[in-house]
Chains A and B, each alone.
Chain A
Amino acid sequence: MNATLQGRRSSPALLIAEHSVLVAYILLLLLVGVAIALNPAFGSLGNLKAQLLIASFVGIIAIGQTFVILTGHIDLSVPWNLTFSAILAATCYANGYGIPAAFGLGIGFGALVGAFNAVGVAIFRVHSLVWTLATNALLQGLALLYINGQPPRSTIPPFWRDMVTGDVGGLPMAALLWLVLAVLTIVVLKRTSFGRKVYATGTNETAAFLSGIDTRLVYLTVFIISGASSAVAGLLLTGYASQTYLGMGNDYLLVPIAAVIIGGTSVLGGTGGYVGSIAGTLMVVVLQAVLSTAQIGQAGKNIIFGGIILLLVLLYGRAARVND
Chain B
Amino acid sequence: MAAEACLKPWQDGTKPARWPTKPGPYKIAISNSYIGNTWRTEMVQVAKSYVSRPEVAKDVASLRVASAGNDVAAQIAQLNEMTLAGVDAIILNAASPTGLNSAINQAAAAGILVVSFDNVVTTPKAIKLNQDQYQMGKAWAQFVLDQTGGKGSVLMVRGVAGTFVDQERTRAAMELFKPYPDLKLTEVYGEWDDGTGQKVTANALAAGGKFDAVWSQGGTTGVCRAIQQAGQKIPPTAGEAENGFRKLAYELKFPMLSIGQSPTLSALSIMAAVNILKGEPTPSEISIPLPVVTNETLEPGKNFFPDLPDSLFTAINIGACGLEFDVNEVLAQKV
Residues of A within 8 A of B (CB): 39-42, 44, 46-47, 50-51, 54, 140, 144, 148-154, 165, 237, 240-248, 250-251, 288-289, 292-293, 295, 298-299, 301
- B204 adjacent to A246 (CB under 8 Å): no
Q: Does B181 contact A (CB under 8 A)?
A: no
- B207 adjacent to A144 (CB under 8 Å): no
Residues of B within 8 A of A (CB): 35-38, 41-42, 44-45, 161-162, 186-189, 193-196, 198-200, 202-209, 221-222, 225, 229-230, 243-244, 308-312, 331, 333-335
List of A residues within 8 angstroms of B209 by Cβ = 293
Min Cβ gap B234→A in Å is: 14
Contacts known (A144-B41, A149-B334); A245 close to B194, Cβ less than 8 A: yes
Partner of A241, one of B38, B42, B195: B195
15 residue pairs bridging A and B, Cβ less than 8 Å apart: A39-B207, A41-B207, A42-B206, A50-B202, A50-B230, A51-B206, A144-B41, A148-B335, A149-B331, A152-B309, A243-B221, A245-B311, A246-B37, A293-B203, A295-B187
- B311 adjacent to A242 (CB under 8 Å): no
Secondary structure at the A interface, as helix, strand, loop or mixed, is: helix
List of A residues within 8 angstroms of B196 by Cβ = 251
- B312 adjacent to A46 (CB under 8 Å): no
The 10 closest A-B pairs by CB, nearest first: A41-B208, A149-B335, A298-B161, A47-B206, A245-B311, A151-B309, A243-B310, A151-B311, A149-B41, A50-B206
Contacts known (A154-B309, A241-B225); A251 close to B195, Cβ less than 8 A: yes
- B38 adjacent to A246 (CB under 8 Å): yes
- B311 adjacent to A243 (CB under 8 Å): yes
In the assembly, what is the distance between CA of A144 and CA of B44, in Å? 12
- A245 adjacent to B187 (CB under 8 Å): no
Of listed B225, B308, B311, residue having the most chain A CB within 10 A: B311
In the assembly, what is the distance between CA of A150 and CA of B310, in Å? 12
List of B residues within 8 angstroms of A41 by Cβ = 206-208
Contacts known (A148-B335, A149-B331); A292 close to B203, Cβ less than 8 A: yes
In the assembly, what is the distance between CA of A247 and CA of B38, in Å? 9
In the assembly, what is the distance between CA of A293 and CA of B187, in Å? 7
Min Cβ gap B261→A in Å is: 16
Partner of B208, one of A39, A288, A298: A39
Known contacts A144-B35, A293-B186, A293-B200; 11 additional CB pairs below 8 A are A148-B335, A150-B41, A151-B310, A151-B311, A241-B198, A241-B225, A243-B310, A245-B37, A245-B309, A247-B193, A248-B195
Min Cβ gap A157→B in Å is: 15
In the assembly, what is the distance between CA of A247 and CA of B40, in Å? 12
List of B residues within 8 angstroms of A153 by Cβ = 308-309
